[in-house]
Amino acid sequence: MVIEMVQTHKSPGTDKSTVELIIAGSRTVRCEIQQLINYIWNKEEMPEEWKESIIVPIYKKDDKTDHCNDRGI
């Protein structure tokens, strides 16, 4: 139920997987993902790949030379 409530049309992470891909997956796929998350939760350690992100600066105001006006997405 929670997967269906997640916002769609968001940018994928470094693994290139999207919420739409998970939603379209079968019950087996969802169960495997849940087992993975439960394993990580119990181990209390995230995979190193999950700690990576790509930040792209987006200008908030008119002056593109002033990087104080950037926001990262």
**pLDDT at position 64, please?**
62
**pLDDT at position 21, please?**
80
**pLDDT at position 38, please?**
93
Residue 62 has what DSSP assignment? Answer: S
pTM of structure: 0.51
Low-confidence stretches of the chain (pLDDT < 50) are: none
**Distance, CA of 60 to CA of 49 (rounded, Å):** 29
Could you tell me what percent of the chain has a pLDDT over 90? 11
What total number of domains does the chain contain? 1
Amino acid, single-letter form, for residue 14: T
Cα–Cα distances (Å) from 52 to 2, 68, 72, in that order, read: 24, 23, 14
**pLDDT at position 24, please?**
83
Q: Name the CA radius of gyration of the chain, rounded.
A: 17
Two structure tokens written together for 38: 């439960």
User: By residue range, what is the domain housing residue 18?
Assistant: 2-72
